[in-house]
Amino acid sequence: MTKKAGKLTSNDYTSFLFQHSRMSQGHSWYVNASKSGDGTDPANAFATITEALVAVDVGDFIYIAAGTYDENGLDLDTNAVTIIGDNGVLITNTAAGTCFTISGDTCFVYGLVCRQAGQTGFNVTGNGIYMEECIGTDNTIAFDLNGDYIRLVRCQDQNATTTGFDLSAIGATLYLCASLASGGASRGFYLSHSNADECLLYQCSSQGNATAGFEIVSGADHNTLAYCTSGGADGVRVDNGSNNVWSNFAYQDIVTHVTDWSVVGGGAGSDNLFEVTGAVNVLFIYGHVETQMHADIDTLKLEIDDGTVQDDITDTVDPASAPIGSIFIKTLTNTNPLELLMSNQVRISENAASGKKGGAAFIVNAKNGVSSYIRCTWTGTGSTGMIHWHVQYEPLSDTGYITEA
């Protein structure tokens, strides 16, 4: 059997892809953790993926049955190989190394899940790699993409601690990929090297990546991010490259926060509602009462606080005993009160100038390098009541962003 071909250069991988596509007639190899055979058919499958990677040749197929495969040093270093994983294939590496490396060129990989805390999920150094329906979960970097012209379709990062998708080479295409985290100091999609030019991210989504949902470093140019979304505690979008297109980029422009007096306690106090970075245009702020306010909560107002200076956004309003369903609305200038529309009587607001859900618009330009917060303050001794706050905004600077505090 002819063994592995040498690594392709980025100049000749395209023609090779068409010569050795998934329609090629290579050998088929089978892996099943519950078997122990020569890999030539499902009944005599290899017990490990390692055995299949040793046996495989250019243009061959590897079929992996559902199961957990704890193996070290997995490297698909043969060109034009197709790997198909059953639903339920899980690759781990408790020997403390990358779960799965793809260093061969023009390979197709489908349906693999890599899960190992503290380790890279997929390290892709080969050119022209096509991956579909693959998942990296609980990794440091879920997909470390270093080869040229890599394509990922419906791949997902779950809770990477550093980066979901790290792109450092030319011409990557990511379609319907998602990076889902829970608010840690991670990045979702990171064009991390100046070589990451001419990439396309289409309908990709990031959530909960607090450092940045999407970030492009200086020198990474001529990239297109079309119909991508960011929100759910994502950090601010960062673009330090040039000539990058953010077509129909959607950010979470309505952010919410709950002030619960059973949590914040009785007595005069404050609660940070929203953190502001950069310059933003706040279109409206309102809150609705979800638990009746205590009779001794007084002089409620909104202000902006940078830790040193506090500027009023509104004057005060008396929220004492406000029933469920009552509405607080910021109106006009900071000399006007935070208007309270009681739910136990018919009320209208006629001085909400912007027409944006009843709120008066205002601009916040946060102090550079300092966390600035929109917060509410109050006096009194009451320790019951709950207000669900909402803010809608639009960015005025590249770093303009509002997140829940």
Task: Let me know whether 229 and 303 are in one domain.
Answer: no
Question: Is residue 285 classed as helix, strand or coil in its secondary structure?
Answer: strand
CB atoms within 10 A of CB 43: 9
Task: Let me know whether 243 and 334 are in one domain.
Answer: no
Rounded CA separation 108/160 (Å) = 23
- Spans of the chain, pLDDT less than 70: 1-25, 345-360
| Final residue before a domain boundary, out of 251, 286, 302 | 251
Task: Let me know whether 215 and 288 are in one domain.
Answer: no
Domain containing 312 equals 254-404
Residue 5 forms part of a structural domain: no
Contacts of 54 (CB under 8 A, 6+ apart): none
Task: Let me know whether 66 and 199 are in one domain.
Answer: yes
150: alpha, beta or left, given left = phi > 0 and alpha = psi -120 to 50? beta
Residue 8 forms part of a structural domain: no
Q: Which of 405, 384, 396, 376 is nearest to 285 (CA)?
A: 376
Residue 1 forms part of a structural domain: no
Spatial strand order of the sheet with 297-305 comes to: 310-312, 297-305, 372-380, 269-277, 401-404
Task: Let me know whether 178 and 198 are in one domain.
Answer: yes
Task: Let me know whether 280 and 247 are in one domain.
Answer: no
Both tokens of 279, joined, read 């310059």
Q: What is the pLDDT of residue 284?
A: 87
Task: Let me know whether 247 and 285 are in one domain.
Answer: no
Residue 381 forms part of a structural domain: yes
Rounded CA separation 347/88 (Å) = 57
Task: Let me know whether 238 and 357 are in one domain.
Answer: no
Task: Let me know whether 243 and 307 are in one domain.
Answer: no
Both tokens of 235, joined, read 């950090």
Rounded CA separation 154/171 (Å) = 18
Q: CATH number for the domain including 166?
A: 2.160.20.10
Asked if residue 116 lies in contact with residue 137, where contact means CB atoms within 8 angstroms, the answer is no
Residue 92 forms part of a structural domain: yes
Asked if residue 293 lies in contact with residue 385, where contact means CB atoms within 8 angstroms, the answer is yes
Q: What is the pLDDT of residue 114?
A: 98
Q: Which of 124, 5, 120, 139 is nearest to 72 (CA)?
A: 120
Residue 341 forms part of a structural domain: yes
Task: Let me know whether 22 and 138 are in one domain.
Answer: yes
| Final residue before a domain boundary, out of 251, 278, 312 | 251
Task: Let me know whether 201 and 260 are in one domain.
Answer: no
Q: Model pTM greater than 0.95?
A: no
Q: CATH number for the domain including 383?
A: 2.60.120
Asked if residue 60 lies in contact with residue 84, where contact means CB atoms within 8 angstroms, the answer is no
| Final residue before a domain boundary, out of 206, 229, 251 | 251
The dihedral over CA atoms of 34, 36, 38, 43, expressed in degrees to the nearest 10, equals -50
Number of domains the chain contains = 2
Residue 316 forms part of a structural domain: yes
Residue 83 forms part of a structural domain: yes
pLDDT digit string (tens) for 289-328? Answer: 999 999 999 999 999 998 888 989 999 999 999 999 999 9
Q: What is the pLDDT of residue 1?
A: 35
Task: Let me know whether 218 and 112 are in one domain.
Answer: yes
Provide the 8-state DSSP code for 53: H
